[in-house]
Structures are given as C-alpha cells and as structure tokens.
Amino acid sequence: METITDQHFDVQKIRAEFPVLDQKVNGHDLIYFDNAATSQKPKQVIDALTKYYEHNNSNIHRGVHTLAERATHDYEETRKAVATFINANEAEEVVFTKGTTEGLNLVAQAYGRKFLKAGDEIMVSEMEHHSNIVPWQLLCQQTGAVLKKIPITENGELDMGAFDQLINERTKIVSIVYISNSLGTINPISTIVKKAHSVGAKVVVDGAQAAPHQKLDVKTLGCDFLAFSAHKMYGPTGVGVLYGKRDVLEKMDPYQGGGEMIKEVSFDGTTYNDIPYKFEAGTPNIGDVVAFKEAIEFIQRIGHEALHTHEQKLLQVGSELLHKIEGFEPVGYAGDKASVISFNIEGVHPFDLGMFLDARGIAVRTGHHCTQPVMDRYQIDGTVRASFAVYNTKNEIEVFADALQEIIKKFKK
C-alpha cells in the first residue's frame, strides 16, 4: 500500500475526511483536543457502518443465507486486518471485545482465576488507568494474590530501579500501560517483557493510548496479551481487541458462557469452541467490527511514520507555546512521550479552565482522567489534558494557547 510521506502529508486533506470537525461550538470553530478520550471518525468508517446496516446486516457464523455469509466474511476480514496490523502470527489470536477494559477483565478472569493462587504477585504501575488496576484488585480478592505497584518518578516515567527490586519468582502477571493516558509517557515495554519472562511471569499490555500513535507489533513487544480499543484509533465505539498468544489463550477458561462459544451443549456437560470464539459469547458488535477495518486502513494509508512526525511536531509546538504561559505547570514530562500535554495553571482549577475553553469551542479533558493514583502521586486534584491527533493543526494549538492566556487573566484580578 502506498503511504503518505512527510512531504505529502496534507493535514487539510485529512481534516476533510472527518465530517465532525467542520462545525461551530459555542460560536467558535471546533478545536478537538480530547483525542485521548476518543478520536473522531473518518468518513470511510462512518460509511462502512452505514453500508453494513443498509446492505449486509445479518447474524454471523451460523446462517446459510447470503447476507449471513457477507456479514461473516466482513467480520472475519477485520480480524485478519487486525492480525496484520499488530503482526500477530494468526487471526485466531485476535479476540474481539467491547474495549480495552473488557480485554483486561477477560485476562484477569479467564487466565488469572485459573492460574493464580494465594501469595502469587501481580504487578501494575502507579500510572495505570483504573481499568488496569481494578480488575486485578478483584482477582486478588478472589485468589488471595497480591497486587504490587511500580512507582513513577517526578517527570512521569516508570521507576525501573524499583521494578527490578519488585520483580521476583512470585510475580505471575505484569500488566502495564504502553502509553499513559494522563501523562503521555511511552513505557519501555520490551525491556519489561524480557525481565518479566525471565521470572516466568506473563505480560499484559494496555495498548489503548498506543494504538493511535505507535506501531503495535506483538512480536517486537514480546507480550503475552495486548488489549486496545477501536474508538481511540479512529474506529467505532464498542469494539476492542484482545490479542493473546495461541498457547496461552488455549489454556484459558472461557470468559462468559452463551451462544457462539460452545461446541456441544448438554445437561451432562458442555464443550467449548476453539479460540477466538471461546471468548466471544453471544452475538458480537458485528457492524462496528466491520467498520473498524476501515479505521485500520485509514491509519495504514497515512502510515505510522507520517503520523508520528506530524503528532510530534504538534507536541513540540504545544509544549513551547504553553511553557510561555505564566503559571504553567506540566504534569508528566518524560523524554519519550506521545502527543499529550497534561498540565495545570497555578491558581486556576482545571475544571474552570475546561469550561472557559469549551465556551471558545475548544474541547479538552479535565479531571483525574481515571488515574487517581497519578493525581495522588503529584498531590493535585486533576489536570487539563490536551491530546492531539492526526487531524489537529499548528494553528489550532496557537488559538488554544492564546485562549488560555486570555482566560487566565480573568483569574488574576
């Protein structure tokens, strides 16, 4: 496939593919900087969803009729596209979920409950999203396993020295975020995987924030599981992926019971379907899975390199402009960082900033971003988070920085 080189990267052309961006909010041109919460969707994704419901809607894997065959074909084509996208060995290693959260819960319950026992250790970091903390806390309650925490440093990086101290023969699972949603930090996954594997632990990667920014390659990462969501990578909401290595997935118990996940059912006993269907009980979110393929195609068409170059430029421009603002306090300034700027302005509550920015049509996220331990670590209520995507522009960042300057004046009377 032909990808867009840096010279040919035309952000205006890309913007034109996103209908939602062309609107006024509170009388101003919309500036959407809440991409880490969810990205907007290009027309090809929206069209695929419409086409599915207008032409092909049918239940999958069982019907003998033409529509059922079309729907099944398209659904499975997305699975193949995901497998290629993350460089998995085979499509069967790709389980569709409703999102990253479900993927993490699935591993905790279907793997963790079967293989962990009292005294075993599970390691997460202090920068995890709540969805990569709570499922493990539940598992600890169920099994008697113990949850350990890798602390973070002042600039928002993992304390790898502490990780080395914490990891030991009792560590059975290390579940770690690839890119932090509240700090933007990109974590050294391959290093963590090597160390974890050396003590026999399985590694789960929360790739929710990485999927739109980084090339996800499960072979390079070496992880046992990788969970991510379609909606943060220009795809539909309600679809996620759990990648798992074949031998690990096969050993696991089913997650939920129902149709699709069985081979034979009788009241004497039930046998389960093969992977990945063993983990996909019930009618899945067919339409959104079908449309998800177009999101992958969109990212591949732009290419990770062009995407990365553009977003890093935005990050650089944003950081420079915001640093000029009096009272600017960045939260998380790791050397290796995605296009996310999390910050506070001295003396102004993030909530107030978010409200005034919205009045100017600028969408940011404010609050603790479902990472309360991070906020506790820095002893703050929350942050303002501006997260940039492929369709954002330098000009939007300039408007944003000017707006911030003006808004802050209201608080400095």
Here's the x/- map for another protein, 2-41, by CB under 8 A: it reads as ------------------------xx--------------
When the beta carbons of 130 and 170 are compared against another protein, the nearer one is 130
| Amino acid at residue number 236 | P
Strand partners, 171: 121
Determine the interface stretch with another protein among 57-65, 145-153, 332-340, 353-361 (rule: CB under 8 A): 353-361
346 binds another protein (CB under 8 A): no
Q: How many residues bind another protein (CB under 8 A)?
A: 19
| Amino acid at residue number 2 | E
Say how far residue 391 (Cα) sits from the centre of its chain: 18
Spatial CB neighbours of 412, under 8 Å, sequence gap ≥ 6:
347
Determine the interface stretch with another protein among 50-58, 86-94, 189-197, 364-372 (rule: CB under 8 A): 364-372
350 binds another protein (CB under 8 A): yes
349 binds another protein (CB under 8 A): yes
Q: How far apart are the first and last CA of the chain?
A: 57
When the beta carbons of 103 and 382 are compared against another protein, the nearer one is 382
- Structure tokens belonging to residue 10: 């035309």
Determine the interface stretch with another protein among 42-50, 209-217, 236-244, 366-374 (rule: CB under 8 A): 366-374
| Amino acid at residue number 99 | G
Spatial CB neighbours of 194, under 8 Å, sequence gap ≥ 6:
222
In 27-74 the beta strands, taken as DSSP E runs, fall at 28-29, 31-32
360 binds another protein (CB under 8 A): yes
Q: Tell the smallest beta-carbon distance from residue 232 to another protein (Å).
A: 21
For residue 291, give the H/E element and its range. helix 286-302
Catalytic site residue 370? Answer: yes
Out of 21, 370, 375, 380, which one is annotated catalytic? Answer: 370
Here's the x/- map for another protein, 372-391, by CB under 8 A: it reads as ---------xx---------
Helix, strand, coil % in the chain, rounded to nearest 5: 45, 20, 35
Q: Please provide residue 122's backbone torsions phi and psi, each rounded to the nearest 5 degrees.
A: -120, 135
When the beta carbons of 194 and 410 are compared against another protein, the nearer one is 410
Q: What residues line the site for another protein (CB under 8 A)?
A: 26-27, 348-352, 355-356, 358-360, 366-368, 381-382, 410-411
